[in-house]
Amino acid sequence: MAQMTMIQAITDALRVELKNDENVLVFGEDVGQNGGVFRATEGLQDEFGEERVFDTPLAESAIAGISIGLATQGYRPVPELQFFGFVYEAMDAINGQMARLRYRSGNTMNAPITIRSPFGGGVHTPELHADSLEGLIAQQPGMKVVIPSNPYDAKGLLISSIRDNDPVVFLEHMKLYRSFREEVPEEDYSVELGKANVKREGTDVTLIAYGAMVHSSLKAAEELDKEGISAEVIDLRTVMPVDFETILKSVEKTNRVVMVQEAQRQAGMASYIVSNIQERAILHLEAPILTVAAPDTVYAFTQAEEVWLPNYNDIIEKVNAVINF
Amino acid sequence: MKRTLENIEEQFETFQILNEEGKIVNKDAMPELSDEELKEIMYRMVYTRILDQRSIALNRQGRLGFYAPTAGQEASQLGTQFALEKEDFILPGYRDVPQLIWHGLPLYQAFLFSRGHFHGNQFPEGVNALSPQIIIGAQYTQAAGVAMGMKKRGKKSVAITYTGDGGTSQGDFYEGINFAGAYKAPAIFVVQNNHFAISVPVEKQTNAKTLAQKAVAAGIEGIQVDGMDVLAVYAVTKEARDRAVNGEGPTLIEALTYRYGPHTMAGDDPTRYRTEDLDTEWEKKDPIVRFRKFLEEKGLWSEDEENEVIDKAKEEIKAAIKKTDEQPKQKVSELIGNMYEELPQNLQEQLEEFKAKESK
Ligand SMILES: Cc1ncc(C[n+]2csc(CCOP(=O)(O)OP(=O)(O)O)c2C)c(N)n1
Ligand SMILES: [Mg+2]
């Protein structure tokens, strides 16, 4: 076991899979010699050579496009989009092409591709670097979307994503890259895709979150505990497909739900999850399900981002509202 | 079969007027510039170098936000801008703030842009430009559109846009130059080839020997110019502008240059991908040094004069940063107001919510 930050755990997962499977290729802008702008691929080119870990020219649509092509040649591409705000450049290659390869070929072909990309707010990046755009991909049948909230999960989920035979978008919240360390096994292990994790058990209300909002939810739960409110916190880990089994089990116990996402209210995962809960468990609910989300503007100019982003106080406010309903 | 690429470099030889020693090597091409104009170019280059140094320092003190250093690229940036008229429209990349400033953007607004405050992008009347583009290549297709619009309106002006060597790999780059060519739109496409896209050297970016030759496939004029030679950069831009307003279509200009500093101030470490030798090699080509020699030789410039510019720049930067500090902090309620002409229901509700929060 070793103490690792989330970014170290990600590098470690890449190393494990580069070692395990000679078909794994890691590439993108600045990922080679420079080790990526966040150093996620640090040392990998030295260790595995330029044939396996390489820089690409600057074009996201081609980075995603060559991934599909390489997949037809038996490779397992792990491209990086330098920031997820640049996914718009690659949107056709992902949602229009990669997602449909299996379907279009009548299940004779597949795209075992894992697109890694940093995203998420609160680190004072310029425009189009911080947006939560997971909803755009989650809307596309054929794609999976994975968002870890901690180093242990990041490694295990990334290994599972790379081994998965369908395309995965793996989103890494920038605020979590180096914010804390935890024990991460040095060996190879995996965390199953599509399975949520109950991070904290509780009886009065269920908080559903993913990415950095898991930590805001845990903090809110701690504060609520002081007021005598016992909150259960679910970390979705995979936001598409969603693990409704775990969610429903919790709802049946707590009867109250607050859904938390960093994305704007009009987009993202909350509406889909909330509508499913009410379809399947309305008789278990003692209060309407409330959502904590960012306002419906373009991601805020950095000057206002701290106020714009949802935080644990917003979560506490909504929890009090569902408790006192 | 005739080989397409044979001798392609010869067709795109680097155009130069002023060499590294500050000597005119191409007398016939010397642009018509008065002594006053020559001095003005020097003034702007020196000023911009100081602005870069101060911006880096301010960023390190936490007083500026996003900043992409410009030192080394003054001739490419200011030589092109100097060939423009007020009514020309600039579509800059994130490193092209100096062109905006010399096109009329007040300094304090440039600082506000850096701090992520939208007032930085509320350009004053008459500053014909878009705010710096973050998405690499996006400005290239938009520039084709600006130029088309100008042509349709019968204006005698041009659209000028900037990207880097890395930017030439984007689809938008090719689409933009091709559209402008197809419509013979009055556009100038500048590529500041500073030889690196963050860490990736231009040799890995493309198999093309020059970036200027990319013009050929689009059927437009292309030229490679010494981007450390402000006279050459000015001359080719001026010619491109004249041709554009005469209805002769767009031009692609590749300016060979170098950024002395890091890619941006957000943690880039150039020693990971560039050698000191390469830095030194390019510093010898410095645009300010050679232009200073040229002007001094003509008796147009002195150390005293340069020191005056430096002092003036420092003073104005100080005043501008003070004004920047005086701007009220950005509120989310204001951002909401920037979304639509008429606020939809969801945003009306959220506006009330944030107003209440902000008044606490
Ligand atoms: C679409 C897009 N992809 C990637 C980036 C991240 N990025 C910012 S600058 C840069 C390199 C650009 O290099 P170049 O075009 O040569 O311009 P320079 O920075 O050297 O002036 C990259 C990859 C971005 N801003 N937009
Ligand atoms: Mg460059």
Same domain, A156 and A201: no
Ligand 1 atom at minimal distance to the Cα of residue A29: 23
- pLDDT band at residue B9, thresholds of 50, 70 and 90? confident
Percent of chain B with pLDDT over 70: 100
- The band of B7, judged by pLDDT with boundaries at 50, 70 and 90, is confident
Residue A229 lies in a domain: yes
Residues A161 and A206 in one domain: no
Nearest C-alpha neighbor of A288 from the set A271, A301, A267, A274 = A274
* pLDDT beyond 90 at A268: no
> Does residue A124 form part of some domain?
yes
Q: What is the CATH number of domain B4-329?
A: 3.40.50.970
Assess whether A262 and A169 both reside in one domain. no
Contact B169 A59 (CB under 8 A): yes
Q: Confidence class of residue B1 from pLDDT cuts 50, 70 and 90?
A: confident
- From B343, B355, B336, B356, select the one nearest A296 (Cα to Cα): B336
Nearest-angstrom CA–CA distance, B210 and A57: 15
| Partner residue opposite A303 with nearest CB, options B330, B338, B346 | B330
Q: What is the pLDDT of residues B182-226, one digit of tens each?
A: 999 999 999 999 999 999 999 999 999 999 999 999 999 999 999
Interface of A with B in 60-79 (CB under 8 A): 61-62
pLDDT of the residue at B113: 97
Q: What ipTM was reported for this prediction?
A: 0.96
Does residue B198's CB lie within 6 angstroms of at least one atom of ligand 1?
Answer: yes
C-beta A119 within 6 A of ligand 1:
no
Tell which of A161, A184, A207 closes a domain: A184
Q: Which atom of ligand 1 is nearest to the CA of B166?
A: 15
**Token pair listed for A116:** 């890694």
Q: Based on the domain organization, do A34 and A177 belong to the same domain?
A: yes
Task: Mark whether A176 and A245 lie in a shared domain.
Answer: no
Decide if A301 and B339 are in contact by the 8 Å CB cutoff.
Answer: no
A232 and A139 share one domain? no
Is B5's pLDDT higher than 90?
A: no
C-alpha A127/C-alpha B317 separation (Å) is: 25
Question: Would an 8 Å CB–CB cutoff place A58 in contact with chain B?
Answer: yes
B339 touching A (Cβ < 8 Å): yes
Chain A with chain B: Cβ pairs closer than 8 A: 118
Identify whether residues A118 and A260 lie together within a single domain.
Answer: no
Cα(A96)–Cα(A111) distance, rounded to whole angstroms?
13
Q: Report the pLDDT value the prediction gives residue A179, as an integer from 0 to 100.
A: 97
> Does the model's pTM come out above 0.95?
yes
- Reading phi first (left if > 0) and then psi (alpha if -120 to 50, else beta), residue A268 is in left
Q: What is the pLDDT of residues B68-89, one digit of tens each?
A: 999 999 999 999 999 999 999 9
pLDDT, tens digit (0-9, with 9 covering 90-100), for A96-120: 999 999 999 999 999 999 999 999 9
The residues spanned by each domain of chain B are 4-329, 331-359
Contact B197 A308 (CB under 8 A): no
- pLDDT-based confidence at A203, cuts 50/70/90? very high
- Closest CB to B169: pick one of A57, A297, A307: A57
Residues A84 and A159 in one domain: yes
Q: What is the mean pLDDT of residues A309-319?
A: 98
B129 in Cβ contact with B123 (< 8 Å): yes
Decide if A303 touches B, using CB distance below 8 A: yes
A96 secondary structure, DSSP code:
I
The CB of B211 under 6 Å from ligand 1? The reply is no
Q: Residue B254 — very low, low, confident or very high, per pLDDT cuts 50/70/90? A: very high
Alpha-carbon distance of B219 to B251, in angstroms, equals 10
User: Nearest chain B Cα to A63, which residue?
Assistant: B170
With 0-12 / 13-18 / 19 or more C-beta atoms within 10 angstroms meaning exposed / middle / buried, residue B152 is: exposed
pLDDT grade for A267, boundaries at 50, 70 and 90? confident
Residue A192, in any domain of the structure? no
What pLDDT was estimated at residue B8? 87
Task: Give the mean model confidence (pLDDT) for residues A290-318.
Answer: 96
Closest residue by Cα to residue B24 from B280, B302, B293, B237: B293
Is B260 catalytic? The answer is no
Domain boundary among A184, A216, A250: A184
Residue B60 has pLDDT above 90, yes or no: yes
CATH assignment at residue A276: 3.40.50.920
Beta sheet of B187-193, edge-to-edge order: B89-91, B159-164, B187-193, B251-256, B221-226
* B194 C-alpha to ligand 2 centroid (Å): 5
Nearest residue (CA) to ligand 1, atom 12: B197
Q: What distance in angstroms lies between residue B186's CA and the mean position of ligand 2's atoms?
A: 25
In a domain, A319, yes or no: yes
Query: For chain A, how many structural domains are there in total?
Result: 2
- Ligand 1 in contact with B98 (CB < 6 A)? no
pLDDT tens per residue across span B269-314: 999 999 999 999 999 999 999 999 999 999 999 999 999 999 999 9
Assign B293 to helix, strand or coil. helix
Distance, in Å, from the CA atom of A112 to the CA atom of B56, rounded to the nearest integer, reads 43
Check pLDDT > 90 for residue A227.
yes
d(CA A32, CA B214): 26
**Nearest CB to A296 within list B115, B198, B347:** B347
Query: What is the pLDDT confidence band of residue B352, given thresholds at 50, 70 and 90?
Result: very high
Q: Which helix (H) or strand (E) is B47 found in, with range?
A: helix B35-60
Domain-embedded: residue A191: no
Q: Give the pLDDT mean for B146-171.
A: 98
CA distances from A162 to A20, A27, A74 (A): 11, 14, 13
| Mean pLDDT calculated for residue range B258-274 | 96
Compare all CA atoms of chain A with the CA of B270 and give the residue at the minimum distance. Answer: A34
Residue identifier of the C-alpha nearest atom 20 of ligand 1:
B197
A295 interfaces chain B, CB cutoff of 8 Å: yes
CA angle B286, B289, B294 (to 5 degrees): 125
Is residue A288 in some structural domain?
A: yes
What is the average pLDDT across A237-264? 98
Looking at the domain assignment, is residue A190 inside a domain?
A: no
Q: Using 50, 70 and 90 to split pLDDT, how confident is the model at A297?
A: very high
Q: Give pLDDT tens digits for A125-152.
A: 999 999 999 999 999 999 999 999 999 9
B333-352: average pLDDT: 97
Closest residue by Cα to residue A131 from A38, A263, A310: A263
Does A1 have pLDDT greater than 90?
no
Q: Are residues A160 and A224 in the same domain?
A: no
Task: Output phi, psi for B352, to 5 deg.
Answer: -60, -45
Q: Which CATH number characterizes residue A52's domain?
A: 3.40.50.970
B94 is catalytic: no
Please report the pLDDT score of residue B6 as a whole number: 86
Chosen domain end from A184, A217, A234:
A184
Tokens of A299: 């991601």
Per-residue pLDDT averaged across B254-274, rounded?
97
Buried b (16+ CB within 10 A) or exposed e, B334-358: bbbeebeeeeeeebeebbeebeeee
Q: How high is the pLDDT of residue B360?
A: 82
**Which alpha helices (H) appear in A56-105, and where do they start and end?**
60-72, 91, 101-104
Range of the domain at A58: 2-184
DSSP of B58-111, one letter per residue? HHHTTS--S----TT-HHHHHHHHHT--TTSEEE-BTT-HHHHHHTT--HHHHH
**What value does the mean pLDDT of chain A take?**
97
Same domain? For A299 and A166 the reply is: no
B122 vs A contacts (CB less than 8 Å): none
A90 and A18 fall within a common domain? yes
Q: Do B335 and A297 touch (CB under 8 A)?
A: yes
In a domain, A203, yes or no: yes
pLDDT bracket for residue A51 (50, 70, 90): very high
A152 and A233, same domain (yes or no):
no
Report how far residue A197's alpha carbon sits from residue B222's, in angstroms, rounded to the nearest whole number. 58
Q: Pick the catalytic residue from B263, B272, B290, B340.
A: B263
Which bin fits B7, alpha (ψ -120 to 50), beta or left (φ > 0)? left
